[in-house]
Amino acid sequence: MTAPRLRGIFRRLTLIVVLGLLTAGLTSVPAAAAAGTYQQVTGFGSNPGNLTMYQYTPANLPAGAPLVVALHGCTQTASDYHTHSGWQKYADLWGFAVVYPQTGTANNVLSCFSWFDATKDTRGRGEAASVLQMVNHAAAQLGSDSHRVFITGLSAGAGMAADLLADYPEVFAGGSVDSGLPAQCATTQAAASSCQNAAQNLTPAQWGDKVRGSFPGYTGPWPRVAIWQGTSDTTVRPVNATELRDQWTDVWSIGQTASSTRNLPGGTTLSTYNDSAGKAAVALYSISGMGHGLAVQPGSGTDQCGTAGAYFLDTVCSSYYTATFWGLDSSPGGPGSLPAPTGVRVTGTTGTSASLAWNAVDGAASYTVRRNGAVVGSTASASYTDTGLSAGTAYGYTVTAVDSAGAAGAASATVTATTTGAAPRCFTTDNYHQVAAGRAHQSGGYAYANGSGQNMGLDNVFTTHTLQEAPTGYFVIADAGCPA
C-alpha cells in the first residue's frame, strides 16, 4: 500500500490537534479543581504496547474507590483528554481515580490507538496488554475496588475501549464508546476505513461472536456499555452506534428493541436496553446534529462538564451521564448498604409537574430523586413532586435511599412519567413511507428520524418502525410502545 494511501486512512481516523500547547510529564491541575494529583506513572509493567501512563488521583481518595480508564483520540494526548473531558470533575466529586493511557507517533503516525490491529488490540498482546498492566498497577497502589473498574474512550480510543471490553470482560464492569466502533470491527489497517464509513452487514449474533471470540470460554458477567454518537458524524458514521448496540445487546442475550427512550439535553435521545432484572445493560445516546467528537457541556451544574474545543463539542456532558450510568455517583467507594427503593410509581401528572411515590426503605434518612439521570431534588418522605416540566413530554425517574451518614444506596428501576397537554403522536410504517411523510430523512441509503437523528436502518419498504412525535417535528423510535 502506498504511503499516500496510508496517510489517507489515518486522516479518516484522526481528531485535529487541540489548540494550545500542554506541558509534558507532571501536569498541574486547573485552579478550580480540588487538590488532586495528575502525573505520569512509570514502572507499571513490561509495557509491550509502548504506551505512557498518566493518572489523576483526587485528594484523600479512600481505599476501595472505583477506577476509570480514559483513552484519548488520534493526535491527542492524555493531558488533552484530562483537561477537556470533564472526568476530573467527577473524580473529585464522587471519589474515584482516572488512568489515562497515552500512545504516540512511535506507535502510529497520528498517535491513534491501534483498534484495527489484531497484533495490538487483542487479549494479552500489545497496547491491550499495556492498558491491563496500568489497571493492575493503579488498583494495587490505590487499593481500588476490583469490581468497579470502567473504561471509556473517544474515536480511536473508543474503538480500543470496545476491544478491551471484549478482551477483558472479567476486568471491566462497564465501558463507554464515544464516537467509536464495535469491538474487533477491523483486524487490519486496510479494513479500518470500511468500518468507519459503511455498514458491515453483520447480524447481532455475528457482532456478538466477535466479543465472545475475544475471550473464548468466558460466560460472564458482561460489562454494561454506554454508546455515544453524533448523528452528523462523517468520520465515524452513525451506523457504528447501531452495530455497537447490536453487538452488546446480543452479548447480553437481550433484544435490539429499546426498553425505554427519553430525551436529554443537547438534542440527545437516550435509548436503554434492560437485562432480565430490569437494569440497563446497554445505553445508546444519540446526539442530533453533532459531528465527530466527545460531547461536553461547560458549566457549573452537576450535570455540566468539560471545556469545548476541537472535537470536544458543546452539547451535553457525556462524562456525567456515563458516570451515572455506571453508578459512580452513589458515594465514594461505591453504593451504601441501603437497597433500592421498591414500588416507585407515578401518582399524578399535570402539564408542568409529575408526582412520585415509593415504598419507604428502613434506615433511610432521605431520598434523592433523579430526572433523566440528573438530580432534581431530595426529600425525607417517600414521595416527591417535580415541577417546571414541559407539557406532553415523557421523563424518566429513579430514586435512591440515603442513610444518616450520607451514603447513597442502589438506584431504583426507572419509571416514566408523561406530563399532560399536547400528547405525543405515533406513526407506524416502513422506512420508505416515514421518509416520504417527512418524519424521517434519507442519507447514504439509511433512514434517520427527524429531530432525534436515530438510525432506523435501510431506507426501504421492508424495515418498519414506530416513530413518536413530541414535540412537534421531533421524532424518536418507539418500537417498544407509544403512549399515544
**pLDDT tens, residue by residue, 67-106:** 999 999 999 999 999 999 999 999 999 999 999 999 999 9
Positions annotated as catalytic residues are 155
Per-residue pLDDT, 451:
85
Determine the structural domain holding residue 43 and report its residue range: 3-326
Domain shared by 86 and 132, yes or no: yes
Residues of the chain with pLDDT under 70: 1-35, 330-337, 373-374, 405-406, 422-424, 483-484
Q: Which among 373, 396, 418 is the end of a domain?
A: 418
Do residue 87 and residue 213 come from a single domain? yes
Domain at 239, CATH number: 3.40.50.1820
Give residues with Cβ within 8 angstroms of 188, minimum separation 6.
116, 117, 118
* Neighbouring C-beta atoms of residue 340, cutoff 10 Å: 18
In angstroms, the Cα distances linking 149 to 206, 276, 308 are 27, 23, 27
Overall number of domains in the chain: 3
pLDDT at 373: 65
pTM of the model: 0.67
CATH number of the domain bearing residue 384: 2.60.40.10
* 379 lies in the same domain as 459: no
Residue 339 placed within a domain: no
Contact 354, 385 (CB under 8 A): yes
Is residue 109 situated within a structural domain? yes
Do both 263 and 405 map to the same domain?
Answer: no
Instruction: Classify 28 as helix, strand or coil.
Output: coil
Same domain (yes/no): 251, 210:
yes
DSSP secondary structure letter of residue 105: T
Check residue 34 and give its pLDDT.
Answer: 44
Same domain, 411 and 430: no
The dihedral sign for the CA sequence 167, 172, 173, 175: negative
Specify if 482 maps to a domain. Answer: no
Judge if 76 and 214 occupy the same domain.
yes
Which run of H or of E encompasses 78? Answer: helix 78-84
From 297, 326, 355, give the residue that closes a domain: 326
Query: What is the pLDDT, as a whole number, of residue 244?
Result: 98
Residue type, 483: P
Q: Give me the pLDDT at residue 430, please.
A: 92
> Distances in Å between the alpha carbon of 145 and those of 97, 100, 141, 321, 457?
11, 18, 12, 21, 40
* 32 contact partners, CB below 8 Å, separation of at least 6: none
106 and 154, same domain (yes or no):
yes
Q: How, if at all, do strands 475-477 and 464-469 pair?
A: antiparallel
Identify whether residues 363 and 468 lie together within a single domain: no
**257: its cell numbers:** 428493541
Q: Does residue 222 sit in the same domain as residue 356?
A: no
Residue 7 phi/psi, 5-degree rounding, is -65, -35
Please say whether the beta carbons of 40 and 52 come within 8 A. yes
Does 57 fall in a domain? yes
- Is the same domain home to 301 and 363? no
167 in any annotated domain: yes
Sorted by sequence, the CB contacts under 8 Å of residue 435 that are 6+ apart come out as 441, 442, 447, 459
Instruction: Encode pLDDT of 271-311 as tens digits.
Output: 999 998 888 999 999 999 999 999 999 999 989 999 999 99
User: Strand pairing partners for 369?
Assistant: 377, 399
| 336 found inside a domain | no
Pick from 370, 390, 418: which residue ends a domain? 418
Same domain, 302 and 364: no
Give start and end residues of each alpha helix (H) in 109-265: 126-142, 156-167, 189-197, 204-212, 239-251
Q: Is 230 a member of any domain?
A: yes
